[in-house]
A = this chain, B = another copy of it.
Amino acid sequence: MVPRIVEVRKNILRRNDIAAAELRGRFRSAGVFVTSIVSSPGAGKTTFLERTLALVSARHRTAVLVGDLATECDAERLRRSGVPVRQISTGTVCHLDAEMVERAIEGWCLQKLAHLFIENVGNLVCPASYDLGEHLRVVLLSVTEGEDKPLKYPTIFNTADLAVVTKVDLAAAVGFDRAMLLRNIAAVRPDLQVLEVSAKTGEGLLGWVEWLERQQAGLTPDTAVARLET
């Protein structure tokens, strides 16, 4: 039985990789920059995204997909920022996959978008294995979760392009050991860039958005080349 389960899991991931590659091609040719956000439940993904949208959507056409097992709560919160938001309800499924993203963007004119954000289901494990065709994957980790999390959930840190430490306004209250967290991230992933933010005080948010826009700009030449070639 076990080999058959492994085989089915491999098939699922292979099928996802194909769908993700197709999505990535669509995103590239439409010129939309796609950022996914992963974290534990309660690390602050939705609040972080609310603050990000306030800064990004003033200058760029932006849209959001948000995944949850149940409820439309997060989509409702994010819609207040005035950007198009679609909720993906996964039922009992613990992660988003590329086909869910594909179905969710149906009917959207990607060419009119500069940024698409995808907020994954709150889970530090399973989303690591599912490519969504995104350009960047950002893993959030709050100061309240403990400095050992990179060691205990290495896969998600290994597949991320950036780690964002959230709720730094609570650092003193929880006795957060910044040096230890940075050491633990470096132990798992020596080259991973780390930013620190507080959605409550606003600390670090401008730096994060500037970083994001530099990544987007860095991709422009490639996109231009790709367009010339087609």
Name A residues whose Cβ lies closer than 8 Å to a Cβ of B. 1, 4-5, 8, 11-12, 15, 40-43, 68-71, 73-74, 92, 94, 121-126, 128-129, 142, 144-146, 148-149, 151-155, 167, 170, 173-174
Q: B152 near A73 (CB under 8 angstroms)? A: yes
Name A12's contact: one of B5, B125, B153, B155 (CB within 8 Å).
B5
With A5-B12, A126-B94 as contacts: A71 and B144 at CB distance below 8 Å: no
With A71-B152, A173-B173 as contacts: A124 and B123 at CB distance below 8 Å: yes
Instruction: Give the oligomeric copy count.
Output: 2
With A40-B41, A73-B148 as contacts: A125 and B126 at CB distance below 8 Å: yes
Cα distance A68–B148 when bound, in Å? 12
Cα distance A124–B41 when bound, in Å? 7
Please give, as numbers and ranges, the residues of chain B lying within 8 Å of A40 by CB-CB distance. Answer: 40-42, 122
Cα distance A149–B1 when bound, in Å? 35
